[in-house]
Chain A
């Protein structure tokens, strides 16, 4: 037992996809889950009931005793948004690497070429990053980047503004310029289920303003983007995320990643991380 790791909420299933009880892994341990008569449950390997929350279309649980409610995303509740269950993709990488990749902008022109970025527009301008102590979350704001096709609903290239939020160690929420509705933010999340410390199931979820695309088109777009990352993630070394400086050399564009690692270290979240002796 490690309270700093166990006492968090973790996504373990997309609720609409639970048709029969099933087994999965959480933090290297077997759990079973199911939904009957509209109520979902999760049990550990000994058959003990674990706490559950149903939110954002997903079932969440915790092997410990979370000392706070699962985070909320108030923006996602505003009317007119379409809530998109993207489904899951399994990736052989540290859950923290998956989150860190989601926070990175600099790879867009090279991995998501002609969609989320394109040469020669590779520069990441300075942006603001801070650990918001009052809510204990990492936030990056005023992130701007030129994108050839920022969303399924975007026509032609636009400069997109982003905000990144890390409200839990294996979750990230991205707010980005909404092409059909200037002034509103599209919400795109990455919920990561740590199967083990080097294997995860990733559940993206979105709350978008898009009146034109079919649900299938929006799901396809997000799966396309995430699968472009998968082969990169599976080849990253070291396999565990280094929390101490020295193993990797960050640049200006990596400020969010630096803050994320610092925050993980501060809260003692070491699952999928590596600590280097000085």
Chain B
């Protein structure tokens, strides 16, 4: 499987993280999204006419939607799926269009109405915080249950990278605990802006 990848893309990171958690090997093909705009090059447009990243190729299969790629990677792993996933995959798009946009604006100068993007991001975080708090009341740490699913992997990157776009995560303790649970999963990999979990102190 080849992932056409941009190192700073939250959506490409979803794919890299999913593969790492599954222990599946990906061949990474670096695409110069910024400043090179290589995702709009003839070569990339031939692969994905929409000119977006990520793009995953697996034999003759070409997938260009990160949710589809997460489904594809876990197709033989039912433990990574629940019936609730679909609404969270849609929610992940909301995160991308709000917090993700604010981040691209602040980091690499994307055009955006920044106050609107941040405000929509805050509304999404409040929904996420409320849901995760209710999950905690039920003794559940992840979005749809006791174990992580593709829903968590889809929603995690743009949430964790919110501060890159000028949106603080300080007001959301349940989100922070959830992020910590994801960062502690075996096989977890970081990306710039999302740091590896340091070893917890073990009192002697």
Which residues in A have their C-beta under 8 angstroms from that of B185?
none
Residue A217, interface by CB 8 Å: yes
A88 near B36 with CB under 8 A, answer no
- B1-35 interface mask toward A, CB cutoff 8 Å, 1 = contact, 0 = none? 00001111000000000000000000000111011
Q: Is the CB of A230 within 8 A of B192?
A: yes
- A219 adjacent to chain B (CB < 8 Å): yes
Cβ of B164 and Cβ of A88 under 8 Å apart? no
| Any A CB within 8 A of the CB of B109 | yes
Contact A89 B108 (CB under 8 A): yes
A residues in contact with B130, CB < 8 Å: none
Confirm or deny: A216 has a beta carbon within 8 angstroms of a beta carbon on chain B: yes
A residues less than 8 Å from B34 (CB atoms) = 87, 223
Q: What is the bound-complex CA distance between A241 and B1, given in angstroms?
A: 47
Interface centre among A86, A90, A216, A228 (most CB of B within 10 A): A216
Cβ of B85 < 8 Å from any Cβ of A?
no
With contacts A90-B108, A90-B109 taken as known, whether A230 is within 8 angstroms of B32 at the C-beta atoms is: no
Tell me if A186 counts as interface (CB < 8 A to partner B). no
Does residue A236 face the partner (Cβ distance < 8 Å to B)? no
Q: What 1/0 mask marks residues of chain A from 78 to 105 whose CB sits below 8 Å from any chain B CB?
A: 0000000111111010000000000000
Q: Let me know if B107 and A219 touch, CB within 8 A.
A: no
Chain B residues within 8 Å of A, Cβ to Cβ: 5-8, 30-32, 34-36, 38, 106-109, 163-164, 166, 190, 192-193, 195-196
Residues of A within 8 A of B (CB): 14, 16-17, 85-90, 92, 111, 113, 214-217, 219-221, 223-228, 230-231, 234
| Extra contacts besides A88-B109, A89-B107, A216-B38 (9): CB < 8 Å | A90-B107, A90-B108, A92-B106, A215-B32, A216-B31, A219-B32, A220-B30, A223-B192, A224-B192
